[in-house]
């Protein structure tokens, strides 16, 4: 069994686990969790995290962008204009072109505003950005994002930070079948088994923040997520048995005494 490599916009990554950098008690805890997780991509909320002012504590002082790929995101943006402005700023600060687009529809549920998301994807792609898109789990909208130039589709499992796990496996399976782009579950993961389920559905990766950062023991949860993603991927590639309502003996009746 040879697994295909995890490739996004022609860049190869070793880990299929992407980790967020928000909600930790400190930068040092964040850095330790990321190291333990084995992740080589981290998301950075450009509007919320200091990545340019050297006179204040910076994420870069704890997580080396030369060793870990920074994925600037537009967390907290509610319009296409805000999202595009934020990512242009990220490009100016660090030269980042691989980005995560997140345009929210409301402050309570934090669901994606898909019309604005689609418009942002089209405009950012024309500007040369490689856009990984946070979206709902609608297969039809996922197709539109592919046509708009997205480099990865990132449907939610459940509302951001809810920890509810994957609520609509059917739609995730449909999106998996209809696209060859990297499919990454984003938002709603609560525990290691959720990450394993995502990978068993055929997803290429999982993005996790709250489930690690707000766990009682974040470093231990980071390790659990690392192995959950590996296990789920291996399970998917191994080819599960066909489910049946009837029992099937583990051994044959041949030669039975």
Active site residues: 100
62: helix, strand or coil: coil
In terms of Cβ atoms closer than 10 Å to its own Cβ (0-12, 13-18, 19+), residue 3 is exposed
Q: Which of 175, 157, 176, 159 is nearest to 167 (CA)?
A: 157
Of 120, 119, 240, 236, which Cα lies nearest the Cα of 185? 236
Query: Residue 40 gets which letter from DSSP?
Result: S
Question: What is the rounded distance in angstroms from the CA atom of residue 52 to the CA atom of residue 31?
Answer: 18
At 134, which helix (H) or strand (E)? strand 130-135
Helix 80-94 crosses helix 114-126 at what angle (to 10 degrees)?
Answer: 40
3-state secondary structure of 37: helix
Contacts for 252 with CB less than 8 Å, ≥ 6 apart: none
């Amino acid at each position: 069994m040879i697994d295909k490599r995890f490739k996004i916009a022609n860049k190869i990554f070793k880990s299929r686990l992407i980790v967020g950098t928000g909600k930790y008690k400190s930068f040092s805890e964040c850095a330790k969790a990321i190291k333990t997780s084995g992740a080589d991509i981290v998301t950075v909320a450009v509007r919320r995290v200091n990545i340019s002012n050297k006179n204040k504590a910076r994420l870069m002082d704890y997580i080396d962008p030369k060793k870990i790929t920074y994925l600037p995101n537009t967390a907290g943006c509610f319009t296409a204009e805000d999202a595009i402005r934020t990512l242009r700023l990220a490009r100016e600060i660090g030269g980042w072109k691989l980005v995560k687009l997140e345009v929210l529809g409301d402050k309570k549920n934090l669901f994606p505003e898909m019309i604005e998301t689609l418009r942002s994807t089209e405009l950012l792609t024309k500007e040369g950005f490689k856009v990984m898109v946070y979206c709902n789990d609608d297969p039809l909208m996922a197709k539109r994002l592919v046509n708009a130039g997205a480099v990865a589709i990132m449907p939610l499992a459940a509302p951001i930070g809810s920890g509810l796990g994957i609520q609509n496996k059917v739609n995730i399976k449909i999106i998996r079948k209809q696209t060859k782009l990297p499919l990454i579950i984003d938002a709603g993961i609560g525990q290691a088994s959720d990450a394993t389920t995502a990978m068993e559905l055929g997803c290429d990766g999982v993005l996790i923040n709250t489930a690690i950062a707000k766990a009682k023991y974040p470093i231990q949860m980071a390790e659990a997520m690392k192995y959950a993603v590996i296990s789920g991927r291996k399970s998917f590639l191994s080819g599960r048995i066909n489910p049946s309502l009837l029992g099937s003996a583990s051994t044959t009746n041949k030669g039975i005494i």
